[in-house]
Structure 1
Amino acid sequence: MATADILTPTSFPVAPDHMPSTFNENDNKSKPSTNGTKGSAQFDAQKHLQFAPPSKTYSMKELGYADNAGVSPIGVSEPFPLFSPEAIIQMRKEVLSDNVWTHYQFSSNLAQCQLRGFAPEYAPFVYDAWRSPEVLKIVSDIAGIDLVPAMDWEIGHINISVPGQDEKSQAVALSDENDKPIVDWHTDSYPFVCVTMLSDCTNMVGGETALRKGDGSIAKVRGPQMGCAVVLQGRYIEHQALRALGTTERISMVTSFRPRSPALPDDTVLTTVRAISDLSELYFQFSEYRLEMLEERIRIQLKEIRDRKRARRSFNTKAMKKFLLEQEKFLAHMNREMVQDEMVTKGFTDDSHLISEELKGRSRKRSCTDSE
């Protein structure tokens, strides 16, 4: 998934027959409250941002990774205030609306309830917030690289967990097992994510994000409070969300980012999002921005060879062949990620997104156990 804050169901959920899946409007027990907020609002950075810089950011090097790992030296931030209470209320109103639940709810073996792809149509406040220059600057400054949303489909992805009565009654019994994850180890599909908490975490115990460092040891980053966020270079760092107790709901919003510059690498994969997306929309948006990157790269290269010609310099065959090889790899990667629709198992993500052989082995062992 695109986040370290996905909640794993206690049993393997049945994948929906089609995408998107349908939400039963009469099943109010599974739908969190929107706090009864009415009316609409437009995002205003002056009014709706409550930003304060994180107390610390951790570099990839501090996490035990090579200096050239990822697209930025920054690995993860401590939680930091981002949105005002009024902004969070409006976001909750939009993302928990009946239209979103009806048309954009997804389920998978990684998360029982997710809302995806709804922002442009049903959440204008959410969409404008993550597209605003002010928010983009905040996220980019913390990440140490100029970022843009990966694509519209990945703006405001929502992960939801609402404990059932059985889970509540077992809370005391689970209190000694806080280190058990609510989502297993994974990497994200996109270079960076910004995870924002939409729930009141006042009584929450646990809920940290565990990061697997370069040497295999584990580091923990505390979970954000309502309106606060964490920036993580999750494409390159294996991570998991640890169990949280003492809360009636846990709703997090995840927006994925990629480098703005077309000259920088784009290591986006669709492994963890393919099975929980409208493939037609996902593949269109993925193709659109990747082809725009290629178009801009070609323009830059064309200008380079024209400038050399005007300067009466010889043609740089070696440089051109290097450029062409890089674009061949770029297109081949793009082609691999767009798996034929009929080959995609809806609601199921395999372990190909994992990095370490140890975690891949654990995942395969669990898969074998589940299938028995």
Structure 2
Amino acid sequence: MQDPSFQPSVKSVAPHNGTTADTSVEFDPAKHILFQPPSKIIKMTDIGYAEDTGVSPVAVSHPFQLFSEDAIGEMRKEIFKKEVLANCKYESNIAACQLRGYSPKYAKFIYDAWKHPDTLSIISKIAGVDLVPEMDFEIGHVNLSIKSKEQTDQEIAAISNQKRFFADDEGIAGCPWEDDKPIVGWHTDSYPFVCVLMLSDCTNMVGGETALRTPDGNILKVRGPGMGCAVILQGRYITHQALRALGTKERITMVTSFRPKSPFLADDSVLRTVRPISDLSELYYDFGEYRLEIMEARINARLKVIRDRRRAGKRIDTSAFKKFLQEQIAFLAHTNSEIVEEDQVTVGYIEEMDIPDVKVEAMEVPKQGTKRARTD
């Protein structure tokens, strides 16, 4: 459960550049995309997963610059519109405050930014597979962690005290912040890939990383992105959590989910973690439409094969045809299992994983050399 003392207050946060929330700016890739490639891309096999896990060899990227400061300013203006906060705010037992399902109705700039071919090309290249947004409802999901100035100042003071206590002039030390709770608890995503974009100024931020759990139970932390930067994660197959950011008033991230563009690749999307925090009618419309489109493409392709073989005077390949039918039956059954009756969905409750939370550590980088931290 979330720390009951954590009460997000989105009213206290203004758009990044201080302007009003109304905007008519159109997304322009020449102005708003500021791409710089990630320094490293971690493969699934690098962290212990089998080579055939997921839909791509890529596990997670290091942070990379994606959008310009102007683009982030426009996005912030849109997510803080009063209509978004009034109609699209959700909370659950693993995340205290989220904004969902507001695009494109209230946020055309955000919608166009994530749907633009140039954006999709960048994300697909890093992910190692051609991707498209999972569905409109999942474009621009926002996780909000916002604190008062008093809370922020207390964290900064406590972190400084811990650093002085644990570190000496021989090296560095890290100490866990015992009272922190993750912004989003341990989970696997509902969809194959996510792109996590930072909308906050991360200056002086401690924590804010994404913690990944490897198959052998070890924890790998991926550095959080700076403002306008993003990371790409194959989160459907990797258990992870978003760590609390300390020493800063806010940590606002925008998460857009993706699936393979090709209808002939596996789509393991589920709705388990999103049903309780969604307008189910809109979610089911989007999910049902794209799943049926996938089946339509597969059936049309198989129909062409059957017709071509018949015109060529060949016998039907019974085994191949039955295999195709069995695969589509399984696909339909999975789709049906994800469409749960509304009265059976508990709003705001997502089943939690019984894994200890990762603690945020206050770290001080040594000025000279690399020496061992004190352990006493």
Q: Same fold (TM over 0.5)?
A: yes
Could you say if the C-alpha distance between residues 329 and 274 of structure 1 is closer, same or farther in structure 2, counting changes exceeding 3 Å?
Answer: same
Q: 1:291 offset after TM fit, Å?
A: 0.4
Task: Work out the number of aligned pairs and report it.
Answer: 337
2:139 aligns to what? 155
Q: 1:122 offset after TM fit, Å?
A: 0.7
Q: Distance in 2 between matches of 1:346 and 1:13?
A: 20
Mapped contact 2:141–2:256 kept (Cα < 8 A): yes
2:299 aligns to what? 298
| Structure 2 gap ranges (5+) | 163-174, 358-376
2:261 aligns to what? 260
Question: 36, 42, 45: which is aligned to 1:58?
Answer: 42
Q: Distance in 1 between matches of 2:5 and 2:335?
A: 30
Residues 1:271 and 2:269 are matched in the alignment:
no
Question: 113, 116, 125: which is aligned to 2:100?
Answer: 116
2:79 aligns to what? 95
Q: Distance in 2 between matches of 1:13 and 1:271?
A: 25
Pairing 1:220-231 to 2, within 5 Å after superposition:
220-231=221-232
Mapped contact 2:56–2:127 kept (Cα < 8 A): yes
1:32 aligns to what? 13
1:84 aligns to what? 68
Q: 1:185 offset after TM fit, Å?
A: 1.3
Q: SS state of the match for residue 3, structure 2? A: coil
User: For residue 286 of structure 1, what is the amino acid of its counterpart?
Assistant: F
Q: 1:184 offset after TM fit, Å?
A: 2.2
Q: 1:63 offset after TM fit, Å?
A: 1.2
Q: 1:9 offset after TM fit, Å?
A: 3.5
Q: 1:213 offset after TM fit, Å?
A: 1.3
Mapped contact 1:185–1:239 kept (Cα < 8 A): yes
2:121 aligns to what? 137
Residues 1:324 and 2:308 are matched in the alignment:
no
2:2 aligns to what? 9
Q: Distance in 1 between matches of 2:229 and 2:152?
A: 26
User: For residue 272 of structure 1, what is the amino acid of its counterpart?
Assistant: T
Could you say if the C-alpha distance between residues 322 and 292 of structure 1 is closer, same or farther in structure 2, counting changes exceeding 3 Å?
Answer: same
1:188 aligns to what? 189
Q: SS state of the match for residue 120, structure 1? A: coil
1:117-150 deviations in Å (ceiling 9; x for gaps): 0011011000000000000000000000000000
Q: SS state of the match for residue 35, structure 2? A: coil
Q: SS state of the match for residue 121, structure 1? A: coil
1:148-206 deviations in Å (ceiling 9; x for gaps): 00000000011111114674365144664248551321100100000000000011012
Q: Distance in 2 between matches of 1:29 and 1:210?
A: 25
User: For residue 223 of structure 1, what is the amino acid of its counterpart?
Assistant: G
1:312-333 deviations in Å (ceiling 9; x for gaps): 1110110011011111111111
Mapped contact 1:181–1:241 kept (Cα < 8 A): no
Mapped contact 1:78–1:222 kept (Cα < 8 A): yes
Mapped contact 1:195–1:252 kept (Cα < 8 A): yes
| TM-score under structure 1 length normalisation | 0.86
Could you say if the C-alpha distance between residues 28 and 187 of structure 1 is closer, same or farther in structure 2, counting changes exceeding 3 Å?
Answer: closer
1:256-303 deviations in Å (ceiling 9; x for gaps): 000011111110000110000000000111000000000110001001
User: For residue 98 of structure 1, what is the amino acid of its counterpart?
Assistant: K
User: For residue 2 of structure 2, what is the amino acid of its counterpart?
Assistant: P
Q: 1:342 offset after TM fit, Å?
A: 0.2
Q: Distance in 2 between matches of 1:28 and 1:76?
A: 31
Q: Distance in 1 between matches of 2:323 and 2:82?
A: 51
| TM-score under structure 2 length normalisation | 0.85
Q: Distance in 2 between matches of 1:265 and 1:13?
A: 39
Could you say if the C-alpha distance between residues 13 and 334 of structure 1 is closer, same or farther in structure 2, counting changes exceeding 3 Å?
Answer: farther
| Structure 1 gap ranges (5+) | 1-7, 15-26, 364-372
Q: Distance in 1 between matches of 2:126 and 2:52?
A: 18
Q: Distance in 1 between matches of 2:36 and 2:240?
A: 25
1:71 aligns to what? 55
Residues 1:127 and 2:111 are matched in the alignment:
yes
Equivalent pairs: percent with the same residue? 57
Residues 1:312 and 2:305 are matched in the alignment:
no
Q: Distance in 2 between matches of 1:9 and 1:215?
A: 27
Q: Distance in 2 between matches of 1:31 and 1:316?
A: 65
2:172 aligns to what? none
Mapped contact 2:208–2:251 kept (Cα < 8 A): no
1:315-369 deviations in Å (ceiling 9; x for gaps): 0110011011111111111111111100000010014xx6xxx64xx69xxxxxx
Mapped contact 1:40–1:90 kept (Cα < 8 A): no
Q: Distance in 1 between matches of 2:114 and 2:195?
A: 10
Q: SS state of the match for residue 46, structure 2? A: coil
